Structure 1
Amino acid sequence: MQLPVMPPVKPMLAKAAARIPAEGHAFEPKWDGFRAIVFRDGDEVEIGSRNERPMTRYFPEMVTAIKAQLPERCVVDGELVIITGDRLDFEALQQRIHPAESRIRLLAEETPAAFVAFDLLALGDEDLTGRPFGERREALERALASAAAPVHLTSISTDPALAGAWFDQFEGAGLDGVVAKPLDGPYTPNARTMLKIKHERTADCVLAGYRVHKEGAHLVGSLLLGLYDESGELLNVGAASAFTMARRAELVTELESLVTDIEGHPWAPEKQESGTRTPRNAEGSRWSGKKDYSFVPLRPERVVEVKYDHLEGQRFRHTAQFKRWRPDREPASCTYEQLEVPVKYDLGDVLSG
């Protein structure tokens, strides 16, 4: 492979913003998938991830699509997604990272991926990373003028009002928010020169356990959160983290009086075996390796308010942020009914621009 921009490349990143900027930016939907930079030189294809690990072997169907839909020699930044029904399905996407070749082939047929392109780093022998984004976007539109599913060109607008409408509507199709890119900005690998505007909400959750920090049992790694469903089962909705080291140590002492035996706990092993949604032994991507997902069970008597972006199925899509304790709330009042449910939106309309 001989391209003007060679792998690995760290993608350009975004920093959080509270609101959509007024001018000087191009706006795009924020896709909820695996960030991927595609390198193609004839029959040679490499799909690089955000952390520079190659993903090519996990998505053989995308290699075929890239050869059919992308220019002969190019480097394209985008997102790998899986579409289930009329929504993005991040959980299905995670399952695609599997060590067994036979499993990879099966999942490529059962849950095929799609690629949403949003930037062009190189075309032919030309390195475009120093060009303004507006020029790179025009070149990308020309390069993908005849592309068809499963390769898509993301929607774009310079109208903040339309970006606001996307922010409100597209969540119903499983999207994450809106990205704002400076129109005159070059491509800056590993630098947070874009803006991301994401949904942020709060929820009152039951504290039902914690995971020990990787540096030892004297530190809390993350708090495990639960919500009661309609049947009265306490389901694991996710975790809250991002504490200082000092606060992690304080939490071990603060929560000591709530530590209990696993027997009789809502997330006891026998409940896991029967299929109840609980802390799982293999959460997340298989890139997690041998990470320990055991937890310290706590009596579900304390309520915590957290910030979260959105729900995927019955769980928070990303790790929540601790906000405050809620001694005024009863654990039994912490149900799914408090959570805002986005109005459904057809993902096909998002992909068609």
Structure 2
Amino acid sequence: MWTLPEPMLAAPVPDPVLPAGWAAEVKWDGWRALLSWDAGDLVLRSRQGTALAPAFPELCAGASQLPDATALDGEVVVWEDGRLAFERLQGRLQRRGAGAVRLAAEHPAHFVAFDLLRLAGTDTTGWTYRRRRAALEALFTENRLTAPWALCPSTTDPDTVREWLSSWTAVGLEGVVFKRLESTYEPVRGWRKHKVRATEDAVVGAYTGPAAAPRTLLLGRYDTAGRLRYVGRSTTLPQASGRSVAGFLTPAGDRHPWAGWSFSAGWGSRENLHVTLVVPELVVEVRVDVARDGAGRWRHPARWHRSRPDLSADGVPLFEHAPTG
């Protein structure tokens, strides 16, 4: 029986210039997802393996447009007022049944397809990107796919990439992804990504404040030995964000990697924080400067941006001990 492969990933690069022999695609501000449509059954899976189909009934309803035995890789997004509204995805994982149907009607999601994994029962992951892309475009054209399905733009023109990066950021362009034309689809970091927004991902290891609405988050990253290292604390969360985050935090026991630790309330302060340790699984996105102290921690508070329950902790960049900046 055919099953969805592990997703192919991208390594970050600072250079936005499209290399020769590569194609560029828009990096959307949404949730990465893989889907399979087979014998009337839709499997929709997040990058970390979470089953998403019950949370997106609009995608389930639209799957009948797809030909049988088809599998796609792409991004789940929500459009609102002419822009991508990532915040409309935040509560979807916790909704099922009537709640999911209501949110689907209020803020319907779309699936932006950027890769073809299976076609009419044929596994296409061994095809080159060039061939997969041509087949994906033909799939949309021949089946006249409409909402909730959308085709991600792809180009080999460097001028088009520059236009995307200069003109599309206002509507939710997160950056661009580069894919080598002759590459196959494999569960490795064989793609490259350039992000417009300067944010960082980290894992929540603890919080301050009430359980129903945490006030600040204590953040970590794993080192090469698999130890969760403390990298810094977030700024105060907006109340709505604190309440939203609370639903993804699970209190941890004595086996937490930070059990017995104390955390300072501020740089140079002798006061210790009262923290609640949580299972280190929720990924959040924060804005930070590049300065680190001698222990490799961020020198200044990490400015809260958003939670990323669609990501897994093992995809967060590793802890860097050597200070930068």
Fold-level match, TM-score > 0.5? yes
What corresponds to 1:133 in structure 2? 129
What corresponds to 2:194 in structure 1? 197
Letter in 2 for 1:248: Y
Q: What is the rounded CA distance, in whole Å, between the counterparts of 2:190 and 2:217 in structure 1?
A: 30
CA RMSD of aligned residues (A): 3.8
Q: What is the rounded CA distance, in whole Å, between the counterparts of 2:83 and 2:34 in structure 1?
A: 23
Change (3 A) 1:200 1:53: closer
Letter in 2 for 1:61: E
Shift of 1:298: 3.9
Superposed structure 1 runs of 4+ greater than 3 Å apart:
211-214, 221-224, 236-249, 276-279, 295-302
Shift of 1:134: 0.4
Tell me if structure 2 keeps the 8 A contact 1:21–1:180.
Answer: yes
SS of aligned partner of 1:186: coil
What corresponds to 2:245 in structure 1? 283
What corresponds to 1:173 in structure 2? 171
Q: What is the rounded CA distance, in whole Å, between the counterparts of 1:167 and 1:156 in structure 2?
A: 14
Q: What is the rounded CA distance, in whole Å, between the counterparts of 2:19 and 2:7 in structure 1?
A: 25
Tell me if structure 1 keeps the 8 A contact 2:207–2:217.
Answer: no
Letter in 2 for 1:198: K
Q: Which aligned pairs between 1:1-353 and structure 2 lie closer than 5 A?
A: 6-19=2-15, 20-68=17-65, 70-145=66-141, 146-188=144-186, 190-201=187-198, 214=205, 241-242=220-221, 248=230, 277=239, 280-283=242-245, 288-290=248-250, 298=265, 318-321=285-288, 323-324=290-291
Change (3 A) 1:160 1:239: farther
TM-score by length of 2: 0.68
Shift of 1:42: 3.4
Q: What is the rounded CA distance, in whole Å, between the counterparts of 1:22 and 1:152 in structure 2?
A: 26
Q: What is the rounded CA distance, in whole Å, between the counterparts of 1:291 and 1:168 in structure 2?
A: 43
Q: What is the rounded CA distance, in whole Å, between the counterparts of 1:29 and 1:282 in structure 2?
A: 28
Shift of 1:319: 2.7
The structure having more radius of gyration, on CA atoms, is: 1
**Once the two structures are superposed, what CA deviation does each residue of 1:106-141 show, in whole Å capped at 9, x if it has no partner?**
111111100101111111121111110000110011
Q: What is the rounded CA distance, in whole Å, between the counterparts of 1:100 and 1:55 in structure 2?
A: 10
SS of aligned partner of 1:139: helix
TM-score by length of 1: 0.63
Structure 1: gaps (5+ residues): 203-210, 215-220, 225-235, 256-265, 303-316, 327-333, 337-353
Structure 2: gaps (5+ residues): 210-214, 253-261, 270-283, 294-300, 304-325
What corresponds to 2:312 in structure 1? none
Q: What is the rounded CA distance, in whole Å, between the counterparts of 1:94 and 1:21 in structure 2?
A: 32
Tell me if structure 2 keeps the 8 A contact 1:9–1:52.
Answer: no
The count of residues paired between Structure 1 and Structure 2 equals: 259
Change (3 A) 1:297 1:108: farther
Q: What is the rounded CA distance, in whole Å, between the counterparts of 2:19 and 2:193 in structure 1?
A: 14
Q: What is the rounded CA distance, in whole Å, between the counterparts of 1:164 and 1:182 in structure 2?
A: 18
What corresponds to 2:320 in structure 1? none
Q: Which moved further from structure 2: 14-23 or 136-145?
A: 14-23
